[in-house]
Amino acid sequence: MSAISRRHLVTMAAGIVAAAAAPRAVFAQAPAAAPAAGPFVLPPLPHPTNAFEPHIDAKTMEIHHGKHHAAYVANLNNVAKTNPQLGSSKITDVLGNLNALNDDIKFTVRNNLGGHANHTMFWEIMAPNGGKPEGEVLAAIDKDLGGLEKFQNDFNAAGGRQFGSGWVFVTVSKDGKLAIETRPNQDSPIMDGKRALMGNDVWEHAYYLNYQNRRADYLKAWWNTVNWSKIAERYAAAKAGTLGV
Ligand code: MN3
């Protein structure tokens, strides 16, 4: 073998080693995503990430809140750099009137502000020992959703039927009427002038580490993380016309 071809082989081998090692090295050295400065803020989780085990594992909570929701917030802050009115408007006003936005930001705002609103609600209604529905909320569940057991079964079924990524919500009208509704992607009932009393995230990122393809098991287990006193507060706010995201 000539010196040239031997050198060529050594170079090739080194290239292969470098190529194989590169993705891991890049991943390990990647800095944690710094939140883009701006008007949108990632709300802190109300409980430690391991507070919901075994129903939702700590790693899923960390990634879901610290990566997925954080990315929606960072994307919004990037858009707000060139569209400062976005950061000074009420989230419900923007989502309730997406057609007022310029075409160049409409899609980004729909996905990321929808995601920000949905996840802000989602963390707010979570608690490790969240009790049971009582009082006016329970009365509304009985009246509009056929009682707690039927409601939970119907809600789980609707979440299971949502094809691909999306959400299953209970919407609440100003007169307190409840309905189970699903939305694709990060769409929110706010986009239709409604409000979400509560909702569950059926994107795979919400459950895949622990449940893989078993979305139905996740939907069932999720009820163990629901904060019913917070939902009672949201119900009262909806009837008073003051419920935000
Ligand atoms: Mn999510």
62 falls within a domain: yes
Domain that holds residue 63: 57-245
- Please tell me the predicted confidence (pLDDT) of residue 32: 47
CATH number of the domain encompassing residue 79: 3.55.40.20
**In this structure, which residues have their CB less than 5 angstroms from ion ligand 1?**
201, 203
Average pLDDT over residues 182-194: 98
**Strand, helix or coil at 213?**
coil
184 falls within a domain: yes
In the predicted model, is pLDDT for residue 18 greater than 70? no
What is the 3-state composition of the chain as percent helix, strand, coil, each rounded to the nearest 5? 60, 10, 30
Q: Kindly report the length of the chain.
A: 245
37 falls within a domain: no
Separation of 12 CA from ligand 1 center, angstroms?
A: 43
- Please tell me the predicted confidence (pLDDT) of residue 37: 81
Mean pLDDT value across the chain: 89
17 falls within a domain: no
Separation of 49 CA from ligand 1 center, angstroms?
A: 15
> In 10 A of CB 9, how many CB atoms?
11
232 falls within a domain: yes
The token pair that represents 49 in the structure block: 């990430």
Count of domains in the chain? 1
Higher pLDDT, 11 or 140: 140
What are the tens digits of pLDDT across the range 117-165?
999 999 999 999 999 999 999 999 999 999 999 999 999 999 999 999 9
